[in-house]
Amino acid sequence: MSEAAIDVRALRDQALFLREETVRLIAIAKTGHFASSFSCAEILAVLYGDALRLRRGDPNWPGRDRFLLGKGHAAVALYPLLAGLDFFPAEQLDTYTRLGSPFGDHPDMRRIPGVDFSSGSLGHALSAGLGMALAARVQHHDYHVYVLLGDGELHEGQVWEAAMAAAHHRAANLIAIVDRNDYCLDGRVDDVIGIEPVAGKWSAFGWSVVEVDGHDVEALASTFRRLSSEQRDCPAVVIAHTVKGKGVGFMEREPGWHLGYLDPADEQRVLAELRGGR
């Protein structure tokens, strides 16, 4: 049977929906991570709309692919995808960050169905993902483990310990994605601590490396399809080149929008700009 065609329009629409939901939910919280969520909207849309093997309504299915959001501050863009898979009622999102709500600024695997790892303290997710990838081997499962890392997260030494260990153990079912948007909370990533050559470093650590436009849903989907089906004896990393704040002119390349608030008038301007850029 031939592989299904990539539904580019649906994936683009999903990325737009994630940006719109990010705006809506942050309006409830009165502050949030706009730019970091916008840079990975297409990555998340493609993972959940095309790449991950999941069962609707069954977040604990043992055979599911695992996903770990290393940059946990972008969780506001993840929650709508989990609701869309019927892992919990979508109306629960209306409680975002309210007292007693399971939906906080960072994901909590103990409280939110479909969250595989409680992230937020940067640098831990790749280690946990490697553990899950090796567990699949021991338990004779064939699932893949995907870990989305921020490029600022590569400043953490534990990332490279995990990278070295993953190559040593030939964890071919482990796929990392670096959201290479060039900025972190403190400014330009390479001004804080230079991380280039990013591709060369991962390659030197024994990983298969792919670079892609992180806002091109077709390229992302094709890349994930190939990596999940090809035979190799090492983990793989996708370096996704993105723009922080993608879709909103005044947020793009503005470090201050790593965390911010929109008043109602600016919120409507942002939504109009996002919808006009479809």
Peptide bond into 80 cis (omega under 30): no
Q: How far apart (Å, rounded) are the C-alpha atoms in residues 215 and 39? A: 8
95 within a domain of the structure (yes/no)? yes
Q: How far apart (Å, rounded) are the C-alpha atoms in residues 172 and 261? A: 41
The answer to whether residues 58 and 264 touch, using CB atoms and an 8 Å cutoff, is no
Tell me, what DSSP letter sits at residue 32?
B
Q: Which domain holds residue 241?
A: 8-276
Task: Give yes or no for residue 1 having a pLDDT over 70.
Answer: no
| Each residue's pLDDT tens digit, 188-202 | 999 999 999 999 999
Q: How far apart (Å, rounded) are the C-alpha atoms in residues 35 and 61? A: 32
| Each residue's pLDDT tens digit, 35-77 | 999 999 999 999 999 999 999 999 999 999 999 999 999 999 9
Q: What is the mean pLDDT of residues 139-160?
A: 98
Question: How many C-alpha atoms does 189 have within 13 Å on its Cβ side?
Answer: 22
User: What local confidence, expressed as pLDDT, does residue 258 receive?
Assistant: 87
113 within a domain of the structure (yes/no)? yes
The answer to whether residues 125 and 149 touch, using CB atoms and an 8 Å cutoff, is yes
65 within a domain of the structure (yes/no)? yes
Q: How far apart (Å, rounded) are the C-alpha atoms in residues 116 and 256? A: 30
pTM over 0.85: yes
Q: How far apart (Å, rounded) are the C-alpha atoms in residues 72 and 174? A: 19
3 within a domain of the structure (yes/no)? no
Q: How far apart (Å, rounded) are the C-alpha atoms in residues 90 and 183? A: 31
Q: What is the mean pLDDT of residues 161-165?
A: 98
User: What local confidence, expressed as pLDDT, does residue 68 receive?
Assistant: 98
* Residue 128 region by backbone torsions, left for phi larger than 0, else alpha for psi between -120 and 50, else beta: alpha
2 within a domain of the structure (yes/no)? no
100 within a domain of the structure (yes/no)? yes
79 within a domain of the structure (yes/no)? yes
| Each residue's pLDDT tens digit, 99-127 | 999 999 999 999 999 999 999 899 999 99
Task: Give yes or no for residue 218 having a pLDDT over 70.
Answer: yes
| CATH code of 114's domain | 3.40.50.970
Domain count for the chain, please give it.
Answer: 1
- pLDDT band for 3, please (50, 70, 90 cuts): confident
Query: 183-184 and 187-188 as β-strands: parallel, antiparallel, unpaired?
Result: antiparallel
User: What local confidence, expressed as pLDDT, does residue 122 receive?
Assistant: 95
195 within a domain of the structure (yes/no)? yes
